[in-house]
Amino acid sequence: MKRLTAAIFLNLLIYSSIYGLQTKSSMFFDYESAESMMKVILALHDLEGTASIEKLLDESLKFKAYQVSHDRNTSPERSKENQVTLSQFRSFMLSLSGDKVDTRGNRRLDITLPLYQDAIKNPDKFQKALQVIKSSPSVRFQDAYKIALSWLPTEVDFKIYAWILFDIGGSGAWAFQTKDGAQNIGFNLLYMLDENGEVDQELFLGILAHEIHHLGLPLSSYFKAINYDNLKETSRLRLYSDYMQNFISEGMAQKFCNNAPGVVSETLSGKGFCCNAVEPQRLGVFSTAAGRDSQPCCPGSEKNTEWPGIKCGKIRIGL
């Protein structure tokens, strides 16, 4: 049964600025999984019994959003240290009601632990954040779509499922295509608040454009042509392709959808923001408009400070 009864359906007709051709695309925004997990967080906040929390948690993890997140977080393309299963996440969440939290030695759960502890301590601000995102005018979603489409080299017809959820793996936002070809974007509500505990809608919409851009990049034919899946991990062609994919996908999305400056180029107009600017202890390496680099694209971003040309955010994207 499809759990999209509370979702918003946007049927967008967009005129591309590249070829002047008309594309028809759709985006489904689903909030049900976040609303369901919010009940778990409130139960943990209110110190309800384990049986009650377990029942609410099991109901939440049945939602499609969590199956998609599980598939993404257990994908063979991810390193073992960056994988986490729904079973591990379930045990982790249940342990939050006890005296000793069990991250099972999982790196991703270690990353997400302080975020869930904050949500349990301050559930009101996350309830408010969810309502703010739900009330965003549909025209703003269309604007984000147009930004992404205008910086893609080919015409793309999208059918995107955007999942708003309290995620399992410690990423702020991600784009992921499941084996059935479905196009998915995930937004982790734990990362959607600024330093004042408010939702930055401009940042949210910029990230939406960023992730749509990832889904539309025509790289699949290249990877198929080089028989990527059968290349050895030590293959120079595989290493080259991995680097170029990061360079193209993250670099272009940062530059053109989020208006971030590069090493040799200024922002296209006004202020942009660097979506991958997070606390150094969480990431260590930052993304720049030219792909991954050893330099932070937002100096001082651990304090979420302003830097000319960039509005520094705290969103951990795609990791």
The per-residue DSSP string of 239-277 comes to: HHHHHHHHHHHHHHIIIIIS----SS---SSS-B--TT-
317 in a structural domain: no
What pLDDT was estimated at residue 254?
60
Same domain (yes/no): 186, 124: yes
What pLDDT was estimated at residue 148?
79
d(CA 192, CA 167): 12
Same domain (yes/no): 105, 254: no
Same domain (yes/no): 69, 200: yes
Cβ atoms of 45 and 178 closer than 8 Å: no
Please write the tens of the pLDDT for every residue from 168-187. Answer: 988 888 989 888 888 999 99
- State mean pLDDT over 249-258: 58
Query: What is each CA distance from 113 to 166, 284, 294, in whole angstroms?
Result: 12, 18, 26
pTM (2 d.p.): 0.70
| pLDDT greater at residue 112 or residue 292 | 112
Same domain (yes/no): 292, 196: no
Same domain (yes/no): 251, 115: no
What is the number of structural domains in the chain?
Answer: 2
Binned at pLDDT 50, 70 and 90, residue 265 comes out as low
The average confidence (pLDDT) of the chain is 75
**Can you count the helices (H) and strands (E) in the chain?**
11, 7
pLDDT at 303 over 90: no
Q: Give the whole-number percent of the chain exceeding pLDDT 70.
A: 66
pLDDT at 15 over 80: no
Same domain (yes/no): 83, 183: yes
Domain that holds residue 139: 8-216
At residue 232, the 3 state secondary structure works out as coil
Same domain (yes/no): 86, 151: yes
Query: What is each CA distance from 278 to 96, 168, 229, in whole angstroms?
Result: 25, 18, 31
d(CA 318, CA 253): 12
